[in-house]
Amino acid sequence: MKAVTWQGKRDVRVEDVPDPRIEQDTDAVVRITSTNICGSDLHLYETLGAFMDAGDILGHEPMGIVEEVGSGVTGLAPGDRVVIPFQISCGHCFMCDGGLYTQCETTQVREQGTGAALFGFSKLYGQVPGGQAEYLRVPQAQSTHIKVPHGPADDRFVYLSDVLPTAWQAVQYAAIPRGGTVAVLGLGPIGAMAGRIALHQGAGRVFGVDLVPERLERARARGMETVDLREHDDVAAVLRDLTGGRGPDAVIDAVGMEAHGSPGGKVVQTITGLLPDAIAAPLTEKAGLDRLGALYAAIDIVRRGGTISIIGVYGGMVDPMPLMTMFDKQIQLRMGQANVKRWVDDIMPLLGDDDPLGVDTFASHRLPLSEAPRAYEAFQKKTDDAFKIVLTP
């Protein structure tokens, strides 16, 4: 089959690889009909190469049709149409029973000290072949699927794999008061969808912060107020002025370690990309390579007693945090990978023909799988208005 493979920094290729097969009785094989490129894939494309091997299959936002199921899989049959969550979860351990699917005790990658295994996301999360391919082996398939009806186009449902539940969790964790205010830092797919969800759930004002003109325009078109980073040196002051001098009730950091405005972190990230993996991997994990501009901004922006919801991905372990400021402002902080299946029942009623969240038109590009190298480059460089790219095998 054809699959998108990682070959090095900023080097992905579509190659012929062996077809997946049933390896455990809890597996299923799914024929992929749509698969997305995620902002998290850019971490592998740009900064986390020390945890990748040439030939690793990328991708964690797929959907398709079940082709085969293992003998131990219940509730799933060939012909079912499914979305595959980005995390692999058993559905019956202590963590899954508590709705913490990203912490599944059956699939935790204990040798790396990380949570549930993820599709297509490096040795840090199990090095499981991903879904930017014609076919995908799905471990723990009895839980690692979301059934969706046949009929509507894939765009209606494919974002259940990541974008919708991730943005939904970001808003839930932000605890925005009814009629309250929230600033969303970063208007990529997750930030943009979080803003839409916040408005849908009754936020009074949503401020979208970014520096890409097309993304700012998208946000304005969906009812958000926007702050252009290119026009303001002190975003926190701007947002305080817009909120009666206090600052927003909540801030959602949808940027993570790709933040602009942290040149020191960028330099170190670049250096680690030139080091042998044996040296770069522990440096990446331990030395605090994150570019923390967005997180520091969130701490400055949020009102006293407010909440910060971090949904952007951070990677380092020893980044300095302004704990005195956080304590003094009595900030509440919530974060973590989205527990996809925890939120599906809440989201599914919004995926009808009325399309209140705009999922049917959310993608900026739909391209054949063979165009993946060009798509990655455009998404990483934010050219050609590359906002959300769906690949079709």
42-52: pLDDT as tens digits: 989 987 788 89
- Would the pLDDT of 41 be above 80? yes
DSSP state of 377: H
Amino acid 276 reads P
Q: How far apart are CA 233 and CA 218, in angstroms?
A: 23
Q: How far apart are CA 11 and CA 9, in angstroms?
A: 5
Give residue for tokens 């919801």: 309
Confidence grade of residue 313 (pLDDT, cut at 50, 70, 90): confident
* Per-residue pLDDT at 123: 93
- Would the pLDDT of 326 be above 50? yes
Please give the backbone phi and psi of residue 252, each rounded to the nearest 5 degrees, phi first. -105, 120
Structure confidence by residue, pLDDT tens digits, 149-186 = 999 999 999 999 999 999 999 999 999 999 999 999 99
Token output for 236? 């926190």
DSSP state of 131: S
Is the separation of the CB atoms in 338 and 169 below 8 Å? yes
Is the separation of the CB atoms in 123 and 52 below 8 Å? yes
Token output for 344? 């599906």
Q: For residues 358-370, give the mean pLDDT.
A: 97
Q: How far apart are CA 16 and CA 58, in angstroms?
A: 14
Which residue from 181, 84, 213, 174 is spatially nearest to 137, judged by alpha carbons?
Answer: 84
Please give the model's pTM, rounded to 2 decimal places.
0.91
Is the separation of the CB atoms in 385 and 364 below 8 Å? yes
Q: For residues 201-207, give the mean pLDDT.
A: 98
* Per-residue pLDDT at 277: 52
Q: How far apart are CA 175 and CA 90, in angstroms?
A: 29
- Would the pLDDT of 128 be above 70? yes
Mean pLDDT, all residues of the chain: 90
202 CB-contact burial (10 Å; exposed 0-12 / middle 13-18 / buried 19+): exposed
Structure confidence by residue, pLDDT tens digits, 220-275 = 999 999 999 999 999 999 999 999 999 999 999 998 755 444 443 443 444 334 44
Q: Is 291 helix (H, G, I), strand (E, B) or coil?
A: coil
* Per-residue pLDDT at 294: 85
The least confident of 213-227, 278-292, 332-346, 358-372 is: 278-292
CA atoms within 13 A on the CB side of 31: 9
Q: Which domains does the chain have, with CATH numbers?
A: 2-162+339-392 (3.90.180.10), 164-335 (3.40.50.720)
* Per-residue pLDDT at 361: 96
- Would the pLDDT of 284 be above 80? no
Structure confidence by residue, pLDDT tens digits, 212-232 = 999 999 999 999 999 999 999
Q: How far apart are CA 41 and CA 27, in angstroms?
A: 24
